[in-house]
Amino acid sequence: MALPAGLTIARDQPDGSILFDTGWVGTNSAYVTCDPLETWSYGYALPMTPAAGVGVYETGVAGIGIRTAWSNTLSVQPADITQAMVQNWPRAQQTLPNFRGAYLPPALYRVQLIKTGPIAPGVIAFQNPTATSMYGGIVATSTNFTSTQVNIRTAGCRVTNSNIIVELPTTSLQSFSAVGSTQGATQFSIPLVCDAGISIAYELDGTADASNAPGVLANQAGSGMATGVGVQVLQGKTPVTLNAVSSPYVRTTSDNEAVSIPMTARYFKTSPVVTSGRVSAIATLNMNYQ
Q: How does DSSP assign 52-87, residue by residue?
A: SSTT-EE-SSTTEEEEEEEES-SS---SSGGGSEE-
Is the separation of the CB atoms in 106 and 29 below 8 Å?
Answer: yes
Residue 152: per-residue pLDDT: 64
Question: Minimum mean pLDDT among 108-112, 115-119, 166-170: which range?
Answer: 115-119
The single-letter DSSP state of residue 54 is T
Q: Write down the pTM of the prediction.
A: 0.59
Q: What is the CA radius of gyration of the chain?
A: 29
Is the separation of the CB atoms in 266 and 184 below 8 Å?
Answer: yes
Strands 101-103 and 92-95, by their bridges, are unpaired
Residue 255: per-residue pLDDT: 84
How far, in Å, CA of 238 to CA of 222, rounded?
A: 30
pLDDT at 278 over 90: yes
At 180, the pLDDT band (50, 70, 90 cuts) reads: very high
Residue 21: per-residue pLDDT: 94
Q: SS3 for 14?
A: coil
pLDDT at 154 over 70: no
Is the separation of the CB atoms in 203 and 246 below 8 Å?
Answer: yes
How far, in Å, CA of 190 to CA of 247, rounded?
A: 16
Domains and CATH numbers, the chain: 6-155 (2.60.40.3310), 157-289 (2.60.40.1090)
Residues 6+ apart with CB under 8 A from 137: none
